[in-house]
Amino acid sequence: MNIVDVHDPLRVNRNPDDIEVLLASGNFMQDDFIIFKIELRLYIEKIHETLGEYSLITSFVETDKGTVEMIYDEGFRGEKSLSRASQFLTSNLGISALVLRSIISLREKLG
């Protein structure tokens, strides 16, 4: 099962402009789910001449029971927004929150 938890799924219906891998080839268990991969994905939606890039950053979690992509952050975040988001998550235990949100979303869809 592949879940895109974005109000308008067309916003992520293309290859991301950049990807930051937070966990690859990992096989850890969380609530009966095996987590294989965790990524942050950057989609640049527009460029304003004074504000710069409008970034949509999503989290992508791949498990043995499906994948979930959901909004992590969006807005005019300046340059290197993906790198800053990744550093924040890895230094503040935010990865566990991403995993738990993703598992909740998968459980709701799996019934």
Residue 30: the pLDDT is 87
Angstrom distance (rounded) from CA 102 to CA 106: 6
What pTM does this model have? 0.91
Residue 58: the pLDDT is 97
Residue 62: the pLDDT is 95
Residue 22: the pLDDT is 93
Q: In 1-111, which ranges are E strands?
A: 2-5, 18-23, 28-30, 33-48, 52-63, 66-76
Question: If the chain, 111 residues long, is cut into consecutive pieces of 10 residues, what is the mean pLDDT of each piece?
Answer: 88 96 86 93 95 95 95 93 92 86 90 74
